[in-house]
Structure 1
Amino acid sequence: MPVMPGAEAYHHAGGQIGVLLCHGFTGSPQSLRPWGEYLAAAGITVSLPRLPGHGTTWQEMSHTRWEDWYAELDKSLADLRGACAEVFVMGLSLGGCMALRLAEVHGDRISGLVIVNPSVTNDVPLLRLAPLLRFVIASVPGVAGDIKKEGATELGYPRTPVKAAATLPRLWALTQSELSKITQPVLVFHSPQDHVVKPASVRILREKLTGGNLNVVELADSYHVATLDNDADQIFAGSLEFIKTNASVPLQRD
């Protein structure tokens, strides 16, 4: 299946600190590519994989589920850990949820998390019916492109495959149930004006991550896809400072 131009995976071989970037549901690496390039310019090894079923067609995505997307990230994490002394994981939206899940599973083998407008709970009541709806309707209107910045666009699907969406509640429930396992530092960038993910997700993180390892920073001038929005520079610089603060090995420029 041909990949949409601009939706390709991105990888950069840098120093001994690695970052795994996780894009969101129905999106593509394009939404995080500027972030990845910023970190690469700082000498960091970057892996930004394209999740199965993404960056092609929503019809192809309908044949995938959250376990497929997570498995791709897990493999990329293993590759990064083989090449780097230390690894951080960062993500947008559902990519933020999968970053949290990776931290729950891998523990201190991940040094820290930076997540932007993470999705960890069901914001759409109709989704509870998705297991049944998938037999009746193939797709619903998409959620891509929630960006305030004029002229900025996200390369995502105009339709959301119901069959794939029906697998999300299991991921959310599993991630929520084991949030207490996360002891690494977690930096959350949160847009109060988010038309895709409701405030409930950040509220859950505040309730569950009570070990003093959570820091939430509000983005005053961005919508959901904040990595392409007006506050993108704040996210990029903040993530680099987070790495410098929490890494146990020095940052090496190329």
Structure 2
Amino acid sequence: MIQQTDFFLEGGRRGVLLIHGLTGTPMEMKLLGKGLHRAGFTVHGMQLAGHCGDADDLLATGWRDWYASVEHAADALRDKVDQLFVGGLSMGALLALKLAADRPGQVAGVGVYGATFRYDGWSIPRLARLSFMLPLLKKLGIGRDRSFMEQPPYGIRDERLRAQISSAMLGGDSAAAGLPGNPWYSLAEMYALAADVRRRLPQVNAPCLVAHASEDDVASVRNAELVMRGVSAPTELLLLDDSYHMITIDKQRRTLIERSASFFGNIADTGA
């Protein structure tokens, strides 16, 4: 059963839509959201379609459903603010980039946090690195009930936080910590999304803050470099040297919050 875990923090007329990652939850964006709210922004941490339930709930949806829920959330937030910014973590970063490509006149800036076009970080098992082949397996009807299980350190360098998150995730609390594994078919959908976004990167003309862990265990810095090379917009790179993949909650989250608030604020001031 899917639980509703999105959050809304009302602030000024500058809005930020925050998008979590595949098998994740809005809770992974809440500390960033609170920081942006303190800086004066109205913030909506949305919940992607099919998420915060069980694997069957997720498998009932695909990337077009996830993106449709992003568009719906963006429309709702635009009714409340004058300027719309969007930020996403991991797969959420791809959805944020797609929204910016599709709506160049609406998205003022993008927070690209730990963008994941491929799972190629140092903790990813060799077999899982072949997951780019999953769209073919899905087309052949192979492996619907299979998943790649999450591996330590679960994207978190902070050991105390890692213990809390992994306990909730492995204990079945998907609303708080997400699913403990990535279903093969959902990963196939993510790779289809990644291919679409990669083609669309030149159409992103909103400035991008590209933040990535320099030792990302899930998605290597090559993913960030792909964004930097691909978009048409001005970019700013923030490499975090004391965090792993989940940079919105890990050790350097305050640095990420400060840089995001400054980045979005400067764009908003210039636009005003």
What TM-score do you get using the length of structure 1 for normalisation? 0.90
**Distance in 1, Cα, partners of 2:216 & 2:21:** 14
**Distance in 2, Cα, partners of 1:22 & 1:2:** 17
**Distance in 1, Cα, partners of 2:134 & 2:21:** 22
Deviation at 1:241, TM superposition (A): 0.5
AA aligned opposite 1:216: L
Where structure 1 has 5 or more consecutive residues not aligned to the other structure, the ranges are none
Partner of 1:234: 255
**Distance in 2, Cα, partners of 1:247 & 1:116:** 20
Give per-residue Cα distances to partners, 1:164-209, cap 9 Å, x unaligned: 2111222111111111111111001111111111222112123223
Partner of 1:74: 71
Deviation at 1:130, TM superposition (A): 4.5
Checking the alignment, whether the CA contact within 8 Å between 1:121 and 1:173 is kept in structure 2 is no
Residue number among 210, 214, 239 corresponding to 2:235 in the alignment: 214
Deviation at 1:222, TM superposition (A): 0.1
Q: Secondary structure at the residue paired with 1:24?
A: coil
Checking the alignment, whether the CA contact within 8 Å between 2:242 and 2:251 is kept in structure 1 is yes
Checking the alignment, whether the CA contact within 8 Å between 1:187 and 1:215 is kept in structure 2 is yes
AA aligned opposite 2:262: E
Residue number among 15, 34, 41 corresponding to 2:38 in the alignment: 41
Query: Larger deviation: 81-90 or 124-133?
Result: 124-133
**Distance in 2, Cα, partners of 1:210 & 1:15:** 29
Q: Secondary structure at the residue paired with 1:33?
A: helix
**Distance in 2, Cα, partners of 1:125 & 1:214:** 30
Partner of 1:21: 18
- Percent identical residues: 28
Query: Larger deviation: 23-32 or 121-130?
Result: 121-130
Checking the alignment, whether the CA contact within 8 Å between 2:131 and 2:187 is kept in structure 1 is no
Checking the alignment, whether the CA contact within 8 Å between 1:93 and 1:117 is kept in structure 2 is yes
* Structure number having the greater helix percentage: 2
Residue number among 146, 152, 169 corresponding to 2:191 in the alignment: 169
Residue number among 206, 227, 230 corresponding to 1:184 in the alignment: 206
**Distance in 2, Cα, partners of 1:37 & 1:16:** 16
Query: Larger deviation: 216-225 or 172-181?
Result: 172-181
Deviation at 1:2, TM superposition (A): 4.4
Partner of 1:127: 132
Checking the alignment, whether the CA contact within 8 Å between 2:143 and 2:185 is kept in structure 1 is no
Partner of 1:102: 99
Query: Larger deviation: 155-164 or 114-123?
Result: 114-123
Checking the alignment, whether the CA contact within 8 Å between 1:29 and 1:50 is kept in structure 2 is yes
**Distance in 2, Cα, partners of 1:168 & 1:188:** 20
**Distance in 1, Cα, partners of 2:89 & 2:43:** 15
Aligned residues: 247
Partner of 1:139: 146
What TM-score do you get using the length of structure 2 for normalisation? 0.84
AA aligned opposite 1:128: M
Deviation at 1:137, TM superposition (A): 4.7
Where structure 2 has 5 or more consecutive residues not aligned to the other structure, the ranges are 121-128, 166-176
Partner of 1:158: 180
Deviation at 1:105, TM superposition (A): 0.1
**Distance in 1, Cα, partners of 2:222 & 2:133:** 16
AA aligned opposite 2:240: L
* C-alpha RMSD of matched pairs (Å): 2.1
AA aligned opposite 1:102: L
**Distance in 1, Cα, partners of 2:232 & 2:104:** 17
Residue number among 176, 200, 203 corresponding to 2:222 in the alignment: 200
Partner of 2:246: 225
**Distance in 2, Cα, partners of 1:200 & 1:249:** 31
Checking the alignment, whether the CA contact within 8 Å between 1:122 and 1:172 is kept in structure 2 is no
Give per-residue Cα distances to partners, 1:32-75, cap 9 Å, x unaligned: 11111121222211111111221121221111111111111111
Checking the alignment, whether the CA contact within 8 Å between 1:121 and 1:200 is kept in structure 2 is no
**Distance in 1, Cα, partners of 2:38 & 2:246:** 22
**Distance in 2, Cα, partners of 1:80 & 1:230:** 29
Q: 1:59 to 1:131 in 2, by over 3 A?
A: farther
Q: 1:210 to 1:16 in 2, by over 3 A?
A: closer
Partner of 2:123: none
